[in-house]
Amino acid sequence: MTNKLLNIVLADDDEDDRMLFKEAIDEINIRTKLSIFNHGQQLMDYLTLPNIILPNLIFLDLNMPIKNGTQCLIEIRSNPMLQDLCVAIYSTSSSERDIEETFLNGANIYVNKPTNFSKLREVVEKVLQLNWQYHTSNLNKDTFLFRI
């Protein structure tokens, strides 16, 4: 990994999940700047601010109030300024319907929220180390669902 600072965004309405995600990021030996949003509308308001430095990667929870992850994903992919952002769906849902829907709507990867902290740290680190250009160019249903 380079010394470049990775600009990471997390949109998740669960306070415990946000806190654990931040702790995992803090423990990983990758230079990051983490911005956290409590729901999808906050995320979209941020992404459309003038002169914003766009994130390298968005971790997007599906089930959020006000604007859910699927709505955000569709907005991101339909906005010419945002459409090339890397979006990792980050959800407790393992439903085939959610996975299929987010794949068809253009998410780059689907990550099930791990159930313990060490797995969370491992998953976040592996996702941050992905070669996104390669991963995205070879995207198919088998590589979409991220497993460790």
CATH of the domain at 129: 3.40.50.2300
Q: Say if residue 4's pLDDT is above 70.
A: yes
Q: What is the pLDDT of residues 100-123, one digit of tens each?
A: 999 999 999 999 999 899 999 999
Does 125 fall in a domain? yes
pLDDT for res 94? 86
Q: Say if residue 126's pLDDT is above 60.
A: yes
pLDDT for res 138? 54
Residues facing 60 on adjacent strands: 11, 89
Q: What is the pLDDT of residues 9-50, one digit of tens each?
A: 999 999 999 999 999 999 998 889 999 999 999 999 999 999
The interaxial angle of helices 40-47 and 69-78, nearest 10 deg, is 20
Q: Could you tell me whether strands 57-60 and 86-91 are parallel, antiparallel, or unpaired per DSSP bridges?
A: parallel
pLDDT for res 29? 86
Phi/psi for 120 (5° steps) reads -60, -50
Does 75 fall in a domain? yes
Does 1 fall in a domain? no
Does 126 fall in a domain? yes
Q: Say if residue 132's pLDDT is above 80.
A: no
Report the C-alpha gap between 104 and 62 in whole angstroms.
Answer: 14
**Residues near 7 by Cβ (< 8 Å), separated by ≥ 6?**
32, 33, 35, 53, 54, 55, 56, 57
User: pTM for this one?
Assistant: 0.88
Residue 139 domain boundaries = 6-146
Does 106 fall in a domain? yes
Does 85 fall in a domain? yes
Does 80 fall in a domain? yes
Nearest by Cα to 18 from 45, 43, 37: 37
Q: How many domains does the chain have?
A: 1
Helices (H) and strands (E) in the chain, counts: 7, 6
Report the C-alpha gap between 75 and 95 in whole angstroms.
Answer: 22
Q: What is the pLDDT of residues 38-89, one digit of tens each?
A: 999 999 999 999 999 999 999 999 999 999 999 999 999 999 999 999 999 9
Q: Is 24 helix (H, G, I), strand (E, B) or coil?
A: helix
